[in-house]
Amino acid sequence: MADIKKVGIIGAGQMGAGIAQVCAVAGFDVALNDISEERIDHGLATVSGNLARLVERKQIDEAAVQTALKHVSRAADYDAFADCDLVIEAATESEPVKHSIFHKLSPSLKPGAMLATNTSSISITRLAAATDRPEQFIGIHFMNPVPRMQLVELIRGIATDDATFNAAKKLIAALGKSAIVSEDFPAFIVNRILLPMINEAIYTLYEGVGSVDAIDTALRLGANHPMGPLQLADFIGLDTVLSIMQVLHEGLADSKYRPCPLLVKYVEAGWLGRKTQRGFYDYRSGTPVPTR
């Protein structure tokens, strides 16, 4: 397998744009795709804006920003990935959506190209089986926000070969990040521990043990967490939190992973957190106000 020089990214949202940014800064060519030109434009604007803020903080100079931006291009369709050495899927956390992407994508890739998913919970083995190259498929789970978070989880499917795994490790090192290896179990390591904690915080709210403010303050000041669990849930997206809890509940068949009914209710209401301006906090005034 040749060295990775060009990376394709499917999904120009918060995660995809973050992955594009760190890859471009590290000197990799990047092709960014999404379901519409508008979403690609938004992703490119996110990369540009994030880099501009790094210049303001004197964490990077303007010359490095301009060099990085030259590495990023738009991919209007999957044919733009024909010369990519690796394509990373960073679409919504839905197995049917990911299967559809891989089914449509595979014919556009060169034979030696690697495929990766940024899934935070779904079986790598099952996703790999939806492709024409399970041996060249791997889970590369970046943490959110990608530019700031040091950790990346690497997850091999049952068919992932050593060359793919070693190339992924080399990529993560080139990005200046630290890799840990997780077995292919639901939600891997970080979310297997983190999301049940968030779900329990929601149960604590649901059962009236404490208010939103009390619960978040308790964990910030009592456990020295940088962000309260309900604030973090809003940041992640309540739909994503629910999806991961459903994967844990279904995959491990243990009632302790049952999603809190209040979480389900918020998602049904379309209150998904920061991205919809309402979740456990209301962000519409510019100052977060607890909704309970």
**Active-site residue, selected from the candidate residues 118, 191, 199, 243:** 191
Neighbours of 162 (CB within 10 A): 10
Alpha carbons 273 and 265: distance in angstroms, whole number: 13
**Active-site residue, selected from the candidate residues 93, 118, 123, 141:** 141
Alpha carbons 91 and 118: distance in angstroms, whole number: 8
Helices 14-25, 62-70: inter-axial angle, 10-degree rounding: 110
Segments in the chain forming alpha helices (H)? 14-25, 37-56, 62-70, 95-105, 124-129, 162-174, 190-206, 212-222, 229-236, 238-252, 261-269
CB proximity list for 189: less than 8 A, separation 6 or greater: 153, 180, 182
**Would you call 223 helix, strand, or coil by DSSP?**
coil
Q: Is the separation of the CB atoms in 104 and 132 below 8 Å?
A: no
Question: Is residue 120 among the annotated active site residues?
Answer: yes
Neighbours of 222 (CB within 10 A): 8
Alpha carbons 139 and 194: distance in angstroms, whole number: 19
**Active-site residue, selected from the candidate residues 153, 182, 199, 243:** 153
Alpha carbons 116 and 119: distance in angstroms, whole number: 9
Alpha carbons 217 and 223: distance in angstroms, whole number: 9
Question: Is residue 166 among the annotated active site residues?
Answer: no
Question: Is residue 36 among the annotated active site residues?
Answer: no
Alpha carbons 32 and 41: distance in angstroms, whole number: 10
Question: Is residue 99 among the annotated active site residues?
Answer: no
**Active-site residue, selected from the candidate residues 33, 120, 121, 243:** 120
Catalytic residue IDs: 120, 141, 153, 191
